[in-house]
Amino acid sequence: MKDTPLSNCERDFLLKAIQEKKRLDGRQTYDYRKIKITFGTDYGSCFVDLGKTRVMGQVSCELVAPKENRPNEGIMFFNIELSPMASPAFEQGRQSELSVKLNRQLERCLRNSKCIDTESLCVVSGEKVWKIRVDVHLLNHDGNLMDAASIAAISALCHFRRPDVSIQGDEVTVYSQEERDPIPLSIYHMPISVSFSFFQQGTYLLVDPCEREERVMDGLLMIAMNKHREICSIQSSGGIMLLKDQVMRCSKIASVKVSEITELIGKALENDKKARKAGGRCGFAESIPLERITALKMDETPMEMMDVTERANDIVQKAEVPPQMVQSPVVPVPGVGQVGQGLQNTWGLEEEEDEEEEDENEGSDNSAEEQEGRVSPMEEEKYEKEERDGGDVVEISDSEEEEVVILHPEKPDKAPKNTESSLHQKASNKKRQ
> Segment near another protein (CB under 8 A), from 86-94, 159-167, 242-250, 351-359?
86-94
What gap in Å lies between CA 121 and CA 71, rounded to an integer? 11
Left, alpha or beta for 136 (phi > 0: left; psi -120 to 50: alpha)?
A: beta
Does 48 sit near another protein (CB under 8 A)? no
Does 133 sit near another protein (CB under 8 A)? yes
> Segment near another protein (CB under 8 A), from 11-19, 135-143, 350-358, 394-402?
135-143
Does 386 sit near another protein (CB under 8 A)? no
CB proximity list for 301: less than 8 A, separation 6 or greater: none
Does 244 sit near another protein (CB under 8 A)? no
- Identified binder of another protein from the candidate list 33, 108, 137, 424, rule CB under 8 A: 137
- Identified binder of another protein from the candidate list 34, 94, 244, 311, rule CB under 8 A: 311
Does 25 sit near another protein (CB under 8 A)? no
What gap in Å lies between CA 78 and CA 62, rounded to an integer? 14
Beta strands in 89-191 (DSSP E): 122-124, 128-140, 161-162, 165-168, 171-174, 183-184
Q: Are 238 and 198 in contact (CB under 8 A)?
A: yes
What gap in Å lies between CA 152 and CA 137, rounded to an integer? 10
Which CB sits closer to another protein, 289 or 323? Answer: 289
- Identified binder of another protein from the candidate list 18, 43, 50, 58, rule CB under 8 A: 58
- Identified binder of another protein from the candidate list 56, 132, 254, 258, rule CB under 8 A: 56
Chain centroid offset of residue 141 CA: 20
Subset of residues 157 to 216 that bind another protein, contact rule: CB under 8 A: none
Which CB sits closer to another protein, 312 or 339? Answer: 312
Torsion of CA 270, 274, 279, 281, to 10 degrees: -50
Dihedral pair phi/psi, residue 118, rounded to 5°: -75, -20
Does 64 sit near another protein (CB under 8 A)? no
Does 321 sit near another protein (CB under 8 A)? no
Binding mask 248-287 toward another protein (x if CB under 8 A, else -) reads: -----------------------------------xxx--
CB proximity list for 113: less than 8 A, separation 6 or greater: 189, 191, 224, 226, 232, 233
Residue 57 three-state SS: strand
Query: Which of 165, 182, 216, 205 lies closest to 15, judged by CA?
Result: 216
Which CB sits closer to another protein, 41 or 397? Answer: 41
Does 325 sit near another protein (CB under 8 A)? no
Q: Are 58 and 156 in contact (CB under 8 A)?
A: yes
| Least distance (Å) between residue 344 CB and another protein | 35
Residue 102 host element (H or E): helix 97-110
> Segment near another protein (CB under 8 A), from 53-61, 100-108, 251-259, 411-419?
53-61
| Least distance (Å) between residue 98 CB and another protein | 15
- Identified binder of another protein from the candidate list 20, 97, 304, 320, rule CB under 8 A: 304
Which CB sits closer to another protein, 157 or 406? Answer: 157
Q: Contacts with another protein: how many residues (CB under 8 A)?
A: 57
What gap in Å lies between CA 224 and CA 232, rounded to an integer? 5
Does 24 sit near another protein (CB under 8 A)? no
Beta strands in 200-278 (DSSP E): 204-207, 219-225, 231-237
Q: How many residues does the chain have?
A: 433
Give 111's Cβ-side CA count (13 Å radius).
Answer: 17
Does 297 sit near another protein (CB under 8 A)? yes
Q: Which residues bind another protein (CB under 8 A)?
A: 1-2, 40-42, 45, 52, 54, 56, 58, 60, 81, 83-88, 92-93, 133, 135, 137, 139-142, 283-285, 288-306, 308-309, 311-313, 315-316, 319
